[in-house]
Amino acid sequence: MIEAALVRLVDDVGVLAEEDVVRAFSILKATDLPGYLRLRQAAKKANRDCSVTVLDKLVRDELPGSDDDASALDELVALARAQCQLHHDADRNAVAVIPMPSRREVWRVYSSGFEEWLRAAYWRAKEMGVPETTMKSALATLAAAGINDGDEIEVHVRAARCDDGYLIDLADEQWQAIHVTPQGWRVVNESPVYFTRTPSMRPLPMPVAHGDVGLLWQHTNIPAHSRVMMLAWLLDCFRPDTPFPVLELVGEQGSAKSTTQFVLRSLVDPNKVMLRGRPKTVEDVFVAAANNWLVSYENLSGLTPEQQDAFCTLATGGGFASRQLYTNGEEHVMETKRPVVLNGIAVVATRPDLIDRVIHVDLPTIPADARRDDADTYAGWERDQSKVFAGLLDLFSAALAILPTVKLTQKQRMADYERLGEAVARAMGFAAGEFQQQYAELVRAGIDRALESNAVAQALDRYIAERVLPLNWQGTAGQLYDLLNTHSIPDRSSWPRSPKGLSDQLRRIAPAYRAKGIDITHLGHSREGARWRIARTRSQTNPATPPGIEGGTRYGAHRE
């Protein structure tokens, strides 16, 4: 009946209002909603002048007990289930996988991207809008279907590990990805893993043949001796299976900190807002991490101890929990691991546990006659970005090929980064061990910064310097508190208020002193309080000469 009516519809728009045709459509809608929607769309294509809206009204009137809102809700749910696959992730968040002729989209059901797709699909099918309450009910129903009836799948943002390498989501309109292996890299139209995205994400540049990562130094103010370390950090941002070191860019006004950070971010995770101001709370840090692959803050004058701890958590993986609603006791947990980049005029990483995870780069001041205006800067980067990205992928592939052969004799805190950096340096033509020497020097400099900014360390250094006999102190935290209190230091604002506070500070600075050959050991508790021992240990010397840029000539290392 309906197929014959569609043939006549080509020349007669009144066919859709005929009683037997309306009844046939009504029966089809009640028994096979996807089939109804398909034939309704076919009617619209058969004659653009016909009114499918009138057909919908006649069908609703024909069906007993029909309700506009209920009908729209049912149609939305049926439309979504007919055109996408509903699943959930390990945290039981519903995910929609939408196969399309030229691409595959993956959205979380409770996301603006999926809601926009569903509204557009409903408009194409019905030429009608959807009330907000109806849309919320439809999303809740679809989420329940994905959570309870769908399979558990793993969903990634921007980068993912695969069996033989890594995948990088381009986040373009075609939903393409880049597959990087030790044998090379290629653009794939459909990723073998599920990538989703957030509304603020922007596409990475499409890599071109014959990349040149050396062009990067024309658009950033990275000093020559830090460039291998910077390239290793960039590549490490695409390795979600390892901890991420925190990049800290420091330089005085006019050293192109923000421009450098903008360029670096555009190679890892372009975003609607490339650089953000100082976070107000720890929760702000984790909200940014939930919506960005790369967490990027600029012009920082300082961070609270809690915020520095949050960045430590992001580097190695962890979460933040708060109450979900004020009317119940459930928690809302944001768990994530993300690369981080910070910049400021002064050093912002001051706590030893964060400094241990930081790649610190001092940016030199740019002379006034060498500065460029923003228009020229960004136009030049737009021109070279694709070549630099392609060169970065070439280097990534070469480093992955070398990585299995890299064995570290001594490991720093961020050993995974150190191992990758050694592979990157060798791929660029540096001798084995040169990157490890440079990184060891960076870690030692970080230890010095950590102790310089700590009031207890300043007092302890004065006490150690005044001793004539070999250092081998042992006693209670209270005795040490009284002993160090006699030494003057420039700033006592962070001085502990009690022996217990001193013990907490000693635990924080103990790893830094151990690296300098001084062992600070907690011996347990006695009736007098916590007991500590401070003594020298046999120092271990490491070569501290960083590799010069002249050591490598591949992948643009020769460029200044």
In a domain, 547, yes or no: no
pLDDT at residue 119, as a whole number? 94
On whether both 395 and 425 belong to a single domain, the answer is: yes
Domains of the chain: total: 4
Q: What predicted TM-score, i.e. pTM, was given to this entire model?
A: 0.78
Q: Which of 10, 34, 66 is the last residue of a domain?
A: 66
On whether both 391 and 483 belong to a single domain, the answer is: no
- d(CA 456, CA 485) in angstroms, rounded, equals 9
- Give me the sheet containing 295-297, strands edge to edge: 295-297, 340-344, 246-250, 358-362
On whether both 426 and 478 belong to a single domain, the answer is: no
- Cβ atoms of 311 and 290 closer than 8 Å: no
Residue 497: how many other CB atoms lie within 10 Å: 8
On whether both 346 and 426 belong to a single domain, the answer is: yes
In a domain, 418, yes or no: yes
- d(CA 149, CA 162) in angstroms, rounded, equals 27
What is the extent of the structural domain holding 243? 213-441
- d(CA 108, CA 91) in angstroms, rounded, equals 12
On whether both 115 and 231 belong to a single domain, the answer is: no
In a domain, 373, yes or no: yes
On whether both 505 and 532 belong to a single domain, the answer is: yes
pLDDT at residue 319, as a whole number? 75
On whether both 461 and 397 belong to a single domain, the answer is: no
Angle at alpha carbon of residue 62, lines to 61 and 66, rounded to 5°: 55
Instruction: Please report the DSSP string for 406-462 in residue order.
Output: ---SS--TTHHHHHHHHHHHHHTTPPTTHHHHHHHHHHHHHHHHHHHT-HHHHHHHH
In a domain, 206, yes or no: no
In a domain, 208, yes or no: no
From first to last of its 560 residues, the chain has per-residue pLDDT tens of: 888 888 888 989 888 898 888 888 888 888 888 888 888 888 888 888 888 888 888 887 777 655 555 578 888 999 999 999 999 999 899 999 999 999 999 999 999 999 999 999 999 988 888 889 899 999 999 999 999 999 999 999 999 999 889 999 999 999 999 999 999 999 999 999 999 999 999 999 999 988 999 999 999 999 999 999 999 999 999 999 999 999 999 999 889 999 999 999 999 999 999 999 999 999 899 999 989 999 999 999 889 989 999 999 999 988 776 655 444 445 556 678 999 999 999 888 888 889 889 999 999 998 888 888 888 888 999 999 999 999 999 999 999 999 999 999 888 889 999 999 999 999 999 999 999 999 989 988 888 877 877 888 889 988 888 886 788 899 999 999 999 988 878 777 788 989 999 999 898 888 888 878 889 999 998 888 899 999 988 644 443 333 333 334 444 443 44
Q: Which of 441, 463, 481 is the last residue of a domain?
A: 441
Helix (H) or strand (E) holding 99, with range, is strand 94-99
pLDDT at residue 50, as a whole number? 85
Residue 547: how many other CB atoms lie within 10 Å: 20
- d(CA 211, CA 486) in angstroms, rounded, equals 61
- Cβ atoms of 178 and 392 closer than 8 Å: no
pLDDT at residue 394, as a whole number? 97
**Token pair recorded at residue 546:** 């960083």
Strand extents, DSSP E, 251-329: 295-297, 318-323
On whether both 496 and 405 belong to a single domain, the answer is: no
In a domain, 493, yes or no: yes
Residue 552: how many other CB atoms lie within 10 Å: 23
On whether both 133 and 264 belong to a single domain, the answer is: no
In a domain, 183, yes or no: no
On whether both 385 and 288 belong to a single domain, the answer is: yes
In a domain, 182, yes or no: no
On whether both 436 and 504 belong to a single domain, the answer is: no
On whether both 285 and 347 belong to a single domain, the answer is: yes
310-314 own/partner pairs: CB under 8 Å, 24+ apart = 310/282, 310/285, 310/286, 311/246, 311/285, 311/340, 311/342, 311/349, 311/354, 311/357, 312/353, 312/354, 312/357, 314/244, 314/246, 314/285, 314/286, 314/289, 314/338, 314/340
Three-class DSSP category at 111: coil
User: What CATH number does the domain containing 387 carry?
Assistant: 3.40.50.300
Q: Which of 66, 88, 107 is the last residue of a domain?
A: 66
